[in-house]
Structure 1
């Protein structure tokens, strides 16, 4: 039930307001019964009839005002639950990073909107329709239990139709969810690859590829919506025949026999439609809920996910030791078999090897993202091999292509953490960003992918991030390979002249001048 993620007070208020809204039906049915019985009694008490009409109008004004509040509370619940689901899913996706983001994008956009429309809203409507059913049924039984039983038995027909169609809807919903994920990825590919498409004059091919995915997605959506529409039409047709025509015929016979007054029959038909219609609507809402089952399954997993502490304490750093590390890929390719090294606090170590040796994989093993086949990684005399929680808080990371958020310079350095002005200024200074901050300020928007920054500035932002954490080991993964020689030298001077951190850099190409800045140079491809 999605509503348990809303505030209980709001759900209770909604239920109360839904009950009041449901009473509107009973009120109208009761007033119609009195007015028709008065009109058919032969009486000429016009004043009483006008008074009844006026009372009915006043009652409608009250229910209208109540319904305004009902809709407001309903929208508040939908908003609260939507935000809870978005936070849970985003937390799960960020905490379980997957380089293939198409599924996550589809979930956070289209799928969650489907859950809002076809699950949250449907379940709220089911509360209201359930109250309408209970109220109308109770009042109908009070007035004529025979007619009520006839109407109730007739509701079995739409129930059977719903049971048959729900499995088809669930199956077609999953097909649509899969096609939608593929379409989302194709659109992302088309936009990200626009430049290369223009370069090689293949824009038509790229567009056609995305439109093929769009066509598949739209066809799957059409099939889903069409199945839902057909199911609803079948349910309503069954309801009209079995729940209206047949019971009304029986009611007419009873009225001819003098067992029912005309006002009571009209009221019973009105009430019947108001406890049959809710049942039919609930059946349809169940189908709507079923259509979101594949998406809801993922959201339930996200809601159950617990985000672990980002600030796990670490022991004092006394050095890093790697002994006999070996790693084999899933395909069976051995990257390395016997890596040994020791890194002291503040020591600067350069690891060199040709492309394809597995340098980045080695860094991922150090972080605990991957687990070695054999060997140990010791920090503070503890084996942290393959243990992300125990290992990663010792390391900061400078990448060859840092990720830059479409936000301010301040956010990209702090990543939203609360830090003192002194600590921030110190990181900015050590990273060589003083001129940029003096010129543009920390609130400077950097643009998507850091469009407002140069390559060197982006690299320095990454260094400032790393320094701000205060972690004892900085891992640099080909950090300057995409920069010109002079800028590479400047970046290395920034990284390697800080005595407070150890640096472990992997590279396959670096100048002789830069090599002199390291305490150790280890050629990983040499025994």
Structure 2
């Protein structure tokens, strides 16, 4: 149940306020009974009738004030649960490190909203409707157990309808979830590929592709919503026939036989409406909850996921060694490379050269512990860390060919939200060659989406500043300058390789002779028995 992720005090307060709100139904029904009995008594007791009317109005004002607190508490619970679900799912998705973002993006933006409206809100309404049902039923039993039993038996009809339709709704919701994920990805593709679409005059094709996915998504949404609407209509129709018309007919017969007073009959009808209506609403809310089952099952994985503290202590670095490492892909069983042997000392600069497609990035991922080699071992400080992300990755920083920039400030992109000493931050930026940018714009300068406000060289320098600020002893550079012009490439290498405190392992397939001369070792990987 999603409400267990709200504070217990909030749920308890909500239940108390829901009980008061449910009593409103009983209060109105009872006052209606009293006022009708006064009116039908044959006595012109106007003062008593008006007095009860005034008492009813005053009571309604008090209930209205309580309902304001009820709605506020309800919204606070929804917000609290939503924040818990969003945080858990985002943490889980980030830890999974999936390269395919479409599913995660769709889930975070659309599926979680469905859980909010069709699960969290529905479960809160179930609490209120259940209290209303129990209170109305108990009060009805007290006044006429015979009529109450008639109404209870009559509720079996809408219950049967709900049981039949719930499975269909769950199936429809699964289809909608799948179609929505595809639509989200196609829209993302369309926006990111807009420049190519305009260049090659294929805008219509790109729009058509996304619109087609939108049509499939909307059709799936319509089918799911329509199924829910049809189910609700069937439930209401069954309720009107079996829970209202037939019981009221029986009540009329009892009144004509003198076994039921007119005020009691009207009160019973009013109570019946207010304990049959909750039952119908409960069935509809259960269907709403059913529609979120696929999404909730996925959220459960995130909520049950325990994030491991991966801040492995690194107090020194004596060297790293790769011994006779080979790698075979898991799926195709293809050998990428074999017999790779590398040693690096503190502060040493090593260049690994090989043509595109050799597996250089794979080798870096083996060092980080993301992948496990099919043969061989990797040691840091003489300790084996083969395939152990927890132990290995804290020794490395990483510079990509295309670093990711957050749509935030320059400060955030260097620190990644960590609290760091301002002097350390400025020193890292200085060593990365960001002084001119900071002097001109400051650390709170917004870099824009994908770093659009920065040049390619500045983006690389931000990535280098991140690496240097981390204080890790080994910097891995994956084709870090291949997308830059020769002048910028040389400047970046001067920055990367000029720091004596950091060992550097760079992989590249093309680099100038001037830049090669800056390295302590050059290892040509395609001569190491590639597959």
Query: Normalised by the size of structure 2, how large is the TM-score?
Result: 0.98
Equivalent residue pairs, number: 527
Give the drift of 1:310.
Answer: 4.2
Give the drift of 1:135.
Answer: 0.4
CA distance in structure 1 between the partners assigned to 2:508 and 2:42 by the alignment = 102
Which stretch shifts more, 303-312 or 151-160?
303-312
Tell me if structure 2 keeps the 8 A contact 1:370–1:386: yes
Q: Which runs of 5+ in 2 are unaligned?
A: none
In the TM superposition, 1:44-83 aligns within 5 A as 44-83=44-83
Q: Deviations over 1:124-163 (max 9, x none)?
A: 0000000001100000000011110110011000000000
CA distance in structure 2 between the partners assigned to 1:500 and 1:345 by the alignment = 8
1:502 aligns with 2:507: no
1:317 aligns with 2:280: no
> What is the match of residue 22 of structure 1?
22
SS of 1:525's equivalent in the other structure is helix
> What is the match of residue 466 of structure 2?
465
Tell me if structure 2 keeps the 8 A contact 1:254–1:260: yes
Q: Which runs of 5+ in 1 are unaligned?
A: none
Tell me if structure 2 keeps the 8 A contact 1:407–1:445: yes
Q: Deviations over 1:323-366 (max 9, x none)?
A: 11001122122110110011011110000001110000100111
Give the drift of 1:315.
Answer: 5.0
CA distance in structure 2 between the partners assigned to 1:314 and 1:511 by the alignment = 34
SS of 1:403's equivalent in the other structure is coil
> What is the match of residue 485 of structure 2?
484
> What is the match of residue 366 of structure 1?
367
Tell me if structure 2 keeps the 8 A contact 1:315–1:380: no
Which stretch shifts more, 386-395 or 309-318?
309-318
> What is the match of residue 394 of structure 1?
395
SS of 2:191's equivalent in the other structure is helix
> What is the match of residue 7 of structure 1?
7
Q: Deviations over 1:233-262 (max 9, x none)?
A: 000000011111111111111111100000
Which stretch shifts more, 325-334 or 255-264?
325-334
CA distance in structure 2 between the partners assigned to 1:323 and 1:392 by the alignment = 18
> What is the match of residue 143 of structure 1?
143
Query: Normalised by the size of structure 1, how large is the TM-score?
Result: 0.99
1:297 aligns with 2:309: no
> What is the match of residue 246 of structure 1?
246
> What is the match of residue 107 of structure 1?
107
In the TM superposition, 1:402-481 aligns within 5 A as 402-481=403-482
Q: Deviations over 1:433-468 (max 9, x none)?
A: 111111110000111111111110000000000000
Give the drift of 1:385.
Answer: 1.1
Tell me if structure 2 keeps the 8 A contact 1:162–1:287: yes
SS of 1:505's equivalent in the other structure is strand
CA distance in structure 2 between the partners assigned to 1:337 and 1:457 by the alignment = 37
Q: Deviations over 1:196-216 (max 9, x none)?
A: 011110000000000110000
CA distance in structure 2 between the partners assigned to 1:298 and 1:199 by the alignment = 40
SS of 2:526's equivalent in the other structure is coil
Q: Which 4+ runs in 1 deviate beyond 6 A? A: none
Q: Deviations over 1:1-40 (max 9, x none)?
A: 1111111111111101000000000000000000111111
CA distance in structure 2 between the partners assigned to 1:136 and 1:239 by the alignment = 16
> What is the match of residue 334 of structure 1?
335
SS of 1:280's equivalent in the other structure is helix
CA distance in structure 1 between the partners assigned to 2:232 and 2:158 by the alignment = 9
Tell me if structure 2 keeps the 8 A contact 1:405–1:450: yes
SS of 2:527's equivalent in the other structure is coil
> What is the match of residue 34 of structure 1?
34
> What is the match of residue 349 of structure 2?
348
SS of 1:491's equivalent in the other structure is helix
CA distance in structure 1 between the partners assigned to 2:59 and 2:73 by the alignment = 21
Tell me if structure 2 keeps the 8 A contact 1:2–1:120: yes
CA distance in structure 2 between the partners assigned to 1:353 and 1:103 by the alignment = 34
Q: Deviations over 1:411-452 (max 9, x none)?
A: 000000000011101101110111111111000011111111
Q: Deviations over 1:81-116 (max 9, x none)?
A: 111111111111111111111111111111111101
Give the drift of 1:314.
Answer: 2.6
Q: Deviations over 1:279-330 (max 9, x none)?
A: 1110000000000001111111111112222422135211000011001122
> What is the match of residue 272 of structure 1?
272
The two structures, once aligned, show a CA RMSD in angstroms of 0.8
CA distance in structure 2 between the partners assigned to 1:85 and 1:38 by the alignment = 54
> What is the match of residue 283 of structure 1?
283
Give the drift of 1:489.
Answer: 0.8
Give the drift of 1:380.
Answer: 1.6
> What is the match of residue 96 of structure 2?
96
SS of 1:337's equivalent in the other structure is strand
